[in-house]
Amino acid sequence: MDIVQVAKRANVSTATVSRVLNGFPGVREKTALRVHRAIAEMHYIPNPNARSLRVGRTRLFGLIVSDVNNPFFPELIDAFESLATAEGIEVIFTHTNYDLKRLHSSIRRMIERSVDAIAVMTSEVEEDALQQAVQAGIPMVLMNQRKLAHKYPNVPVDYSAGFREALEHLLSLGHRDIGFIAGPQSLDSARGRKDAFTAALKSHGIHVRNEWIAIGDLRVEGGRKAMDALLARSPRPTAVVASNDLMAVGALQAAHASRIHVPRDLSLIGFDDLPIATMVHPALSTIRHPRREVAARAFDLLWKTVQGESVAEASALQPHLVIRNSTAPPAGLKRR
């Protein structure tokens, strides 16, 4: 009964202390001052559990990502957490390790903790899991889930725009023979990127050669193997776009191992703009995934929903090409 002590010391009722605490209007300045002094003197800290029990809100948001160890996520987490902190919201954070069962239990845990809202920032989702939050009446937002965009709030990202930019860069350098390293086509997100890439190719009237498309596991190792496959083709592409940076790094290593100089003999573009993109040699040109903006949009949407504000349908976020040192005119062209 700690607010009671403060009330006693300030010679007011607990109601008044509560009003001062919450900055409600209609407290005489002199009274408020007395209360503030009492709070300070007693080092009083309100009990958030009691408060939550009363008002039914916890000022706790849940954030679920696929994998902390994936260097894609830290920036997203960072951005989300900073915004939350600024609004006095605490974040409970967890990751699914790409496991839909863990998504299910993560959402359940968040509901049990009675968070006010949940951001599901995983690459893969499952409706079953999401339905739990819907039933509990907890606002939720997804990251770029095309298929579910009509059923759940969603932060869309326009991958196509990114690939178009990358392609235009390669074309302007003189490349026409362009390969692609895709992710496992069982994943919706990987299919989305591949489709976006081939669409971009076609829109420039370039023929899509299936033998110049290799599949990797989205990790460095997969990129290496995929690039080895592409290098074995004859003819081989003069430029390769990888659907994520991790595979682009693997591709770079494969080129190294085959004594193929990047960018002189082969141009390479990644996707995501992970911190490693600047750490490899040569520094990787890559399409930056606007993940800070994704986090900001997601938080904003949840925050507004929790406040009872209506949320307008959002336009897709645009990725942009970051040109570094892994692209150059094709070798043939240079020699002319």
Please provide the distance, in angstroms rounded to a whole number, between the alpha carbons at the two ends of the chain: 85
Least distance CB 66 / a copy of itself (angstroms): 12
Interaction of residue 18 with DNA, rule CB under 7 A: yes
Rounded Cα–Cα distance for residues 75 and 93 (Å) = 14
Closest distance of CB 19 from a copy of itself, Å: 19
Out of 36, 42, 46, 158, the only residue in the binding site for DNA (CB under 7 A) is 46
Number of residues interacting with DNA: please give it, by CB under 7 A.
32
Q: CB 249 → a copy of itself: shortest distance, Å?
A: 5
- Whether 320 and 169 have beta carbons less than 8 Å apart is answered as no
E strands, the chain, are 60-65, 90-95, 117-121, 140-143, 154-155, 178-182, 213-215, 239-242, 267-272, 285-288, 320-322
- Asked if 26 touches DNA (CB under 7 A), the answer is yes
Complex with a copy of itself: residue 78 or 127, whichever CB lies closer: 78
Give Dmax (Cα) for the chain: 91
Q: Is 300 in the site for DNA (CB under 7 A)?
A: no
Work out what residue 77 binds among a copy of itself, DNA, none; the CB cut-off runs from 5 to 8 Å by kind.
Answer: a copy of itself
Residue 31 contact, options a copy of itself, DNA, none, Cβ 5-8 Å cut-off depending on partner type: DNA
CA distance 111 to 108: 5
Of 12 and 249, nearer to a copy of itself (C-beta) is 249
Q: Where are the alpha helices (DSSP H) in 89-143?
A: 100-112, 127-136
* DSSP secondary structure code for residue 114 in this structure: T
List of residues contacting DNA (CB under 7 A): 1-4, 11-19, 21-22, 25-28, 30-32, 44-47, 50-51, 53-56
